[in-house]
Structure 1
C-alpha cells in the first residue's frame, strides 16, 4: 500500500483560505492547520519598471564639460587632450591628469569624469596593490632595557581647532618613554625623526625591535628602508589586535586621563608645553605598580646595579 502523502504548506494555505471564505477567523484557521499567520496571505509580486530603474541610477552623462568663459567643450575634444597629456606624462595617475587639464587647458572637470574617460580609452595605469612592509609581531619575553620598543601616534585637538600629533615610543621593559615627536602633522618623516632621536638619546645602535600598528606611516617603503639602514627589526601587529601594542596604548590612556582631560588645551603651543611637562613627570616621578612602585628612570637605575 502506498503511504499517504502529507499536505504541503501551500496546500494548507489554500485550504485555510477556503475556511476563511466560509467565515472562520484567520487566527483560528492558522492555529488548526499549524501554519504561520504572517505567511497566510498571498504575497504580491513586485512589478519593476525598467525605465524608472534606469532613471534612478543617476543623472545622465552630459557628454561635455565647460572650458574658459563657460564655453562647452565636447568629450571628444577632452579625449584628444587626454591622449596628449598621457603621452607626455605616462607615469601620472588620473588625479594629476585632472589637475593638468584644469591648469593648462582651463577645463572645469572633476577627477571622476577623467577616470571614466581614461578607463574608456584604456589610458589608466595598472593598479598596484600596496604590500605592507615589516614582519608580523610575535609574543616575546623581554628581559632587558632597549630590547623592544613600541611606537604609536595619538591625536589631540585643541580648543581653537588645531591638531597636536604625538608620535611616541616606549621601552617595554622599563616603561620609559624613550622617544617622542610633537608636531602638527603625522607623516612618515615625523615617525622617522622620533625614532632617530630615541636611538641617539638612548645610545642604541643595534639589536633593537620596533613594534608598530598598521598605520600608513609605518607600513611605507621609506620607513622600512630607514629601519634597515639603522639595524632596526621592524614588526607589525596583527590587524585589529591593539593588545600587541599594549604598553604604548597604556601610556596614551594615562596621558589622556592625567594630562589632557585635566587641562583645557588652548592651542598647539599650549598643548606642546603641557604634554612635554607630563612626559618628564612620567619618566622621572610617576610611580608604576608594574615597576615595584618606581618611576621608569628609577627602575632603570636599580636594574643596572
Structure 2
C-alpha cells in the first residue's frame, strides 16, 4: 500500500574480501592468522595463543599469548610482525588471511589494516583448508607441546609455549622446505643456496 518509509541502506565501512587462489613466491606476501586455545590444569582455566605465520617460509612472525584475546591484541601483534620484518618503509605489504572470528571481523582490526596498508582476506565459513598453514602449525603445537604437558600455572604455560615457538622457528625441520627450519630456509634463500619453492594457496 506504499505507506512505509523506505528502509535505511546500510553502508559497509570495510567491505569484505574473500580469500582468492594465488601463488606465493617469497616471504611477506601472505600471512595467515588464527587462535588456538590451551588449558592450564593447575588453575582450571583456558589461555589463548594468537599467531601470525608467513605462508612462504613457515615462520611464526609474531604471536599473542594471554588469558584473554581481543582485537587490540591482534592489532599489536600485526604491528610487531611488520616491525620484525622491517616492512613499514616498504611499498608492498603482505595480505593477511583469517577466518571470521570476532577479533578478525572487528572494526578495530579493519581500521588497523587500513592504517598499516594491509589487505585483509576472510576465508569462507567451514573452509579451514583456505587457512591451512596456520591450522597445520596449531596441529603441530597441539601434538608436540600441549599434549606433552599438564600446565600447572599460566606462567609455566607461557614459558613452555614461548620456548616451543622459538624452537619451531629456529630448529624444527619441515619437509616442505628442504628439511630446514623456517629461519634456516630464509637464510639459505638469502645466500642463494636453495631454489625458493612456490606455494599455491
Does the 8 Å CA contact 1:181/1:190 hold for their aligned counterparts? Answer: yes
- 1:168 is matched with which residue? 51
When Rg is computed on C-alpha atoms for both structures, the one with the higher figure is 1
Q: Greater helix share, 1 or 2?
A: 1
Unpaired runs of at least 5, structure 1: 1-125
Q: Quick check: 1:137 aligned with 2:50?
A: no
Q: 1:267 aligns with which of 131, 147, 153?
A: 153
Query: Any idea what the Cα deviations from partners look like across 1:247-297, whole Å, max 9, x if unmatched?
Result: 000000000100110111112111000000000000000000001100000
Does the 8 Å CA contact 2:47/2:66 hold for their aligned counterparts? Answer: yes
Q: 1:255 aligns with which of 120, 141, 147?
A: 141
- 1:185 is matched with which residue? 68
Does the 8 Å CA contact 2:14/2:110 hold for their aligned counterparts? Answer: no
Runs of at least 4 residues of structure 1 off by over 4 A?
128-133
- 2:185 is matched with which residue? 299
Does the 8 Å CA contact 2:63/2:77 hold for their aligned counterparts? Answer: yes
Does the 8 Å CA contact 1:133/1:224 hold for their aligned counterparts? Answer: no
- 2:29 is matched with which residue? 147
Cα deviation, residue 214, structure 1: 0.4
Does the 8 Å CA contact 1:132/1:219 hold for their aligned counterparts? Answer: no
- 1:158 is matched with which residue? 40
Q: 2:112 aligns with which of 192, 209, 226?
A: 226
Q: Quick check: 1:216 aligned with 2:102?
A: yes
- 1:65 is matched with which residue? none
Unpaired runs of at least 5, structure 2: 1-7, 192-201
| Aligned equivalents of 1:131, 1:137: Cα separation in 2 | 19
Does the 8 Å CA contact 1:134/1:224 hold for their aligned counterparts? Answer: no
Does the 8 Å CA contact 1:133/1:219 hold for their aligned counterparts? Answer: no
TM-score by length of 2: 0.85
- In the TM superposition, what are the counterparts of 1:69-108 in structure 2 within 5 Å? none
- 1:199 is matched with which residue? 82
- Find the residue that maps to 2:53 and give its secondary structure: strand
- 2:199 is matched with which residue? none
Query: When the two structures are aligned, how many residues end up with a matched partner?
Result: 179
TM-score by length of 1: 0.56
Query: Any idea what the Cα deviations from partners look like across 1:107-160, whole Å, max 9, x if unmatched?
Result: xxxxxxxxxxxxxxxxxxx9x899875411001100011110001011111102
- 2:194 is matched with which residue? none
